[in-house]
Structure 1
Amino acid sequence: MNQNTNKTVLILGANSDVAKQCIKQYVEKGFAVIAASRNTTSLDDFIHSNNLGSSKVSVLYFDAANFDSHQKFYSDLPMKPHIVVYAAGFLVNNQKALTDFKGAKQMMEVNYMGGVSILSIIAMDKGNKNLERIIGLSSLSGVRGRKSNFVYGSTKAAFTQFLAGLRQELASRKIIVNALVIGYIRTKINEGLELNESLIMEPDYVAKYIVNAGNSFTIVPNFKWQIIYHILRLLPESLAAKLP
């Protein structure tokens, strides 16, 4: 019998390309999956086209930016989760974010504030004895401020720091918190951007790192991105300022 048969994964922002691959891989490992997103129609279509079945995956409506709805969403869950993945994300061009605060605000709400809101509710429910792990999807953009994407990067930097503190908060309860620090992925959010093809990862590749997350806090998929991650962290400011 699969040891994960009676365990549940809650994926928030489940309509992203990476999250959809996580659904498939968690189901393959025997987990029941609660897939939550604003776009439930797209999720239903994905589940049907991949023959995942309603007995393995349930779809719920979740709006990361509607903070007032988060407590009820969590309270109404059919099963309290063993694993939670926060995959909600939003991106607008940096120049647009600087000239139109609406886009910047939406990035803050989805990428950071929504995660703080719902993950705090989940983490502070000490009555949920199931909870084993919380995984947040962050970005290399949050490692160092860069001219091309520092508004988006700032939301990811904040989210990573929140996850780091949450990991310490939950350590005494033996709950693991991971931050997936991710580079370029071939996904909807990156369509139209000029990216280095040799550095682009496929969604199913990244999903494997999420589904098989270990004990380390920072998980950087792909050795090329691991090298870039360490360079970004150590780069002197005079050189970091020359990055695009």
Structure 2
Amino acid sequence: MDFYKTILILGANSDVAKQCILQYSEKGFHVLAASRDLSSLKNFVEENNLQNNVELKYFDATDFSSHQKFYDELSAKPNIVVYAAGFLVENQEALHDFERTFNMMKVNYIGAVSILNIIATDFSNQNLERIIGISSLSGVRGRKSNFVYGSTKSAFTQYLSGLRQELASRKVIVNVLVSGYINTKINAGLELNKNLMMEPDYVAKHIVNAGNSFTIVPNWKWKIIYWILKLSPEFLVAKLP
């Protein structure tokens, strides 16, 4: 098969990332799927007969010193990069267990900055055309139920916003997907409104078909919630859980 373009998915073992693998493969992309858990990812690739489309690479978002070597050894430099790695620690635990909180920071923000800086400053890669980061509605405003996790997503969103400006002169598009509740393993066990739950393949479709706008908010219900959070005065936000 002659591949059209190369897509690098970082944190490729997430439920949304796996759906991205499927959908990018259907479009004829050569998929570089990078994750710490390669055994699970290998099973997924084999179950979906994607061996000819997908190349597995070990990637640890928290091992910053390995990022340059990881990038240098890619079989092809990417046209598109998706940062899908994520780690969630519930707020009360995050307030009392800094080791897990720090790990959340490293996966959700610091690791993203580390590898995306390397990718963005590789001027030899003339094919780079888009970088997409998966953020969260939790990062739009600080709320007492999840402000520690939300702070990592807020920082990531702001980083992507500046990166978009930095890369504009090279005509590289940067998008952020600001997501609400997704029916994924990271949310398993949490008490979430099922009427607002989105499926991973639905969210992945918005990533794969990203346009020129910086912020992507899947689902009209979440668009309304996004703007309510964005525009509400502080005293109203403080009343939210």
TM, length-normalised to structure 2: 0.99
Aligned residue pair count: 241
Quote the offset at 1:135 in angstroms: 0.2
Question: Which among 109, 114, 118 is matched to residue 112 of structure 1?
Answer: 109
SS at match of 2:111: helix
Q: Is residue 2:83 matched to residue 1:86? A: yes
User: Residue by residue, what CA displacement relative to the aligned partner does 1:201-231 show, whole Å, maximum 9, x if unpaired?
Assistant: 0000000000000000000000000000000
Q: Is residue 2:60 matched to residue 1:63? A: yes
Quote the offset at 1:232 in angstroms: 0.1
Aligned equivalent of 2:167? 170
Q: Is residue 2:11 matched to residue 1:17? A: no
Q: Which amino acid aligns with 1:45?
A: N
Aligned equivalent of 2:200? 203
Quote the offset at 1:6 in angstroms: 2.7
Aligned equivalent of 1:31? 29
Q: Which amino acid aligns with 2:235?
A: S
Quote the offset at 1:110 in angstroms: 0.2
Q: What is the rounded CA distance, in whole Å, between the counterparts of 1:107 and 1:226 in structure 2?
A: 26
Please, which runs of 5 or more residues in structure 2 have no aligned partner?
A: none
Q: What is the rounded CA distance, in whole Å, between the counterparts of 1:115 and 1:189 in structure 2?
A: 18
Q: Which amino acid aligns with 1:230?
A: W
Aligned equivalent of 2:128? 131
Aligned equivalent of 1:185? 182
Identical aligned residues as a percent: 73
Q: Which amino acid aligns with 2:13?
A: N
SS at match of 1:11: strand
Q: Is residue 2:99 matched to residue 1:102? A: yes
Q: Is residue 2:138 matched to residue 1:144? A: no
Quote the offset at 1:96 in angstroms: 0.4
Q: What is the rounded CA distance, in whole Å, between the counterparts of 2:28 and 2:152 in structure 1?
A: 33
Quote the offset at 1:129 in angstroms: 0.6
Q: What is the rounded CA distance, in whole Å, between the counterparts of 1:70 and 1:8 in structure 2?
A: 19
Q: What is the rounded CA distance, in whole Å, between the counterparts of 1:156 and 1:64 in structure 2?
A: 15
Q: What is the rounded CA distance, in whole Å, between the counterparts of 2:96 and 2:239 in structure 1?
A: 23
Q: Is residue 2:237 matched to residue 1:240? A: yes
Quote the offset at 1:146 in angstroms: 0.6
Q: Which amino acid aligns with 1:101?
A: F
Q: Which amino acid aligns with 2:221?
A: K
Quote the offset at 1:52 in angstroms: 1.1
Task: Note the aligned Cα RMSD (angstroms).
Answer: 1.0
Q: Is residue 2:73 matched to residue 1:76? A: yes
Q: What is the rounded CA distance, in whole Å, between the counterparts of 2:194 and 2:93 in structure 1?
A: 25
Q: Is residue 2:142 matched to residue 1:156? A: no
Segments of 4+ moved more than 6 angstroms: none
SS at match of 2:175: strand
Q: What is the rounded CA distance, in whole Å, between the counterparts of 2:54 and 2:100 in structure 1?
A: 32
Q: Is residue 2:5 matched to residue 1:7? A: yes
Q: What is the rounded CA distance, in whole Å, between the counterparts of 2:212 and 2:65 in structure 1?
A: 32
Q: Which amino acid aligns with 1:163?
A: L
Q: What is the rounded CA distance, in whole Å, between the counterparts of 2:204 and 2:184 in structure 1?
A: 12
SS at match of 2:135: strand
**Higher mean C-alpha deviation, range 101-110 or range 15-24:** 101-110
Q: What is the rounded CA distance, in whole Å, between the counterparts of 1:21 and 1:173 in structure 2?
A: 29
